[in-house]
């Protein structure tokens, strides 16, 4: 088998309208413990959601006509002065902007400077600052998000549910079933959203790594074909149930390090009966922030490019 493209195909789940952009292994990593059902009421204006970059905020979505919509340029008005921020360990604090309009070359997408930044922004992909957490104005209800590790009691049931979905999705790329059957599936990343100690949903990423068949020319590097399946599961009385999945096929050098998550959760918001997952993605030199609503189905609400200066 000879695969020359790094990312060959990407196939969404039939009937599931969500679609995301691709970007190490699961461990018990705390991402966000916002406190069950924290409700922010910073101002009486419409809620605005931003990524906290340490020294600046980048607004990515706002409530408009009862739903979340992406913000890729100007808000159309001055930004609120007062915000609430959460870091990735779940600690919350108040935040004020020094300027209520974007400044410098980062005006589109707009960057809003923080009056008293707690620390210098860390550098992420493509030389842009890495997300330090999220910030919100207006009224926003958050659920905690936890990384799930192999020692968690629900690991086996999650693995079983994902395995069934994997067998279905892996067929999308034409890799021989006999070849895939010889390779074990690995749960690379598992995240859980909960409230009041009760888990409501999971975001998972799983993969199979198939060694290159070895019939490539000597000058070509040996590689791995990686079949990746990602998506959401709902927690039900009968165990985790698939809500929507997507599959991708990649070629990677054999010595390549384990990949980053396709999407990394930053927070989960409550909006009516939906859980809105705020995700960070990375592909090549492009960083994105995206919102997905998990309700009856998984729906893509907005995708916004990270500001690059």
What percent of the chain is modeled with pLDDT above 70?
Answer: 70
Helices (H), strands (E): how many in the chain? Answer: 2, 20
| Cα separation, 290 vs 20, whole angstroms | 8
pLDDT at residue 308, rounded to an integer: 67
Per-residue exposure over 205-237, b if at least 16 CB sit within 10 Å of its own CB, e if not: bbbbbbebeeeeeeeeeebbbbbbbbbbbbbee
Predicted TM-score of the model (pTM): 0.78
Mean pLDDT of 271-287: 85
Mapped onto helix, strand or coil, the DSSP state of residue 254 is coil
User: Which residue has 């068949």 as its token pair?
Assistant: 213
Mean pLDDT of 87-116: 72
Element (H, E) at 161: helix 155-169
How do residues 122-164 score in pLDDT, each as one tens digit? 444 445 567 888 999 877 888 888 899 999 999 999 999 999 8
Domain residue ranges in the chain? 7-33+145-305, 38-140
Closest to 228 (Cα-Cα) out of 172, 302, 293, 177 = 172
CA angle 103, 20, 290 (to 5 degrees): 35
| Cα separation, 96 vs 103, whole angstroms | 16
pLDDT at residue 287, rounded to an integer: 84
37 touches 257 (CB < 8 A): no
How do residues 214-226 score in pLDDT, each as one tens digit? 555 566 667 888 8
| Cα separation, 65 vs 69, whole angstroms | 9
| Cα separation, 204 vs 37, whole angstroms | 22
How do residues 25-62 score in pLDDT, each as one tens digit? 333 333 333 333 333 333 345 689 999 988 888 899 98
Mean pLDDT of the chain: 76
- In sequence order, what are the beta bridge partners of 186? 207
| Cα separation, 225 vs 62, whole angstroms | 39
Confidence of residue 2 (pLDDT cuts 50, 70, 90): very low
173 touches 9 (CB < 8 A): yes
| Cα separation, 221 vs 198, whole angstroms | 47
Confidence of residue 240 (pLDDT cuts 50, 70, 90): very high
């Amino acid at each position: 088998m000879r695969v020359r493209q790094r990312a060959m195909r990407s196939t969404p789940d039939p009937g599931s309208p969500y679609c995301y952009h691709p970007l190490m292994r699961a461990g018990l990593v705390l991402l966000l413990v916002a406190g069950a059902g924290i409700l922010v009421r910073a101002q009486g204006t419409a809620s605005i959601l931003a990524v906290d970059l340490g020294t600046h905020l980048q607004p990515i979505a706002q409530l408009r006509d009862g739903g979340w919509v992406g913000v890729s340029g100007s808000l159309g008005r001055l930004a609120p002065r007062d915000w609430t921020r959460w870091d990735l360990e779940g600690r919350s604090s108040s935040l004020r902007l020094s300027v209520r309009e974007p400044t410098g070359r980062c005006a589109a997408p707009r960057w809003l400077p923080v009056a008293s930044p707690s620390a210098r922004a860390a550098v992420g992909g493509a030389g842009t600052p890495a997300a330090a957490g999220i910030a919100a104005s207006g009224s926003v209800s958050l659920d905690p998000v936890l990384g799930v590790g192999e020692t968690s009691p629900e690991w086996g049931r999650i693995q079983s549910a994902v395995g069934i979905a994997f067998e279905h999705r892996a067929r999308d790329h034409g890799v021989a079933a006999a070849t895939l059957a010889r390779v074990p599936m690995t749960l690379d990343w598992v995240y859980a959203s909960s409230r009041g100690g009760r888990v409501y949903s999971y975001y998972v990423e799983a993969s199979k790594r198939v060694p290159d068949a070895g019939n490539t020319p000597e000058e070509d590097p040996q590689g791995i074909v990686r079949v990746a399946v990602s998506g959401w599961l709902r927690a039900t009385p009968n165990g985790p149930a698939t809500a929507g999945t997507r599959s991708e096929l990649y070629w990677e050098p054999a010595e390549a390090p384990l990949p980053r998550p396709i999407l990394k959760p930053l927070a989960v918001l409550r909006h009516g009966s939906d859980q809105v997952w705020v995700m960070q993605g990375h592909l090549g030199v492009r960083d994105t922030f995206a919102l997905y609503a998990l309700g009856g189905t998984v729906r893509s609400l907005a995708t916004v490019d990270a500001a690059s200066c």
